[in-house]
Amino acid sequence: MSKKRVRNVPINIWVRPDELEAIQGRMAEAGIRNMSAYIRKMALNGYVLHVDLSPVKELVSLQRRCANNLNQAAIHANSYGGLYPDELKRLQKDYADLWGPLSDLLAQLSEIVKI
């Protein structure tokens, strides 16, 4: 008399040889030898991270603007021997504008890492 299967619905997937090799590598890292058990565990309990990088793009733009302004200020200081107070205030504002969103982004990233 044959034993009845608890899991009796098959699911088939097709992978490339390199994908199979990657799956087997991850199975070995997890210490799992049964591919069905590994794929079932990942499908039921695994997670996929989707990261929106638009805030990073904005920060890169702000950083470029700050670097450009700082370079222009350095050229001015070297050529004319100093900076005007309004130029210094503009540089300070640009850096403040950069650090606020950067702090927010780092806080969001730290929350992702906790997961």
Question: For the chain, how many structural domains are there in total?
Answer: 2
pTM tops 0.85, yes or no: no
Output 28 or 62, whichever has higher pLDDT. Answer: 28
Is position 34 within any domain? yes
pLDDT in tens, 32-87: 899 998 999 899 988 766 667 777 787 788 888 888 888 888 888 888 877 777 87
Domain annotation covers residue 29: yes
Structure confidence by residue, pLDDT tens digits, 88-110: 788 888 888 888 888 888 888 77
- pLDDT value of residue 35: 92
Q: What tokens were used for 104? A: 């927010």
Range of the domain at 18: 9-46
3 lies in some domain: no
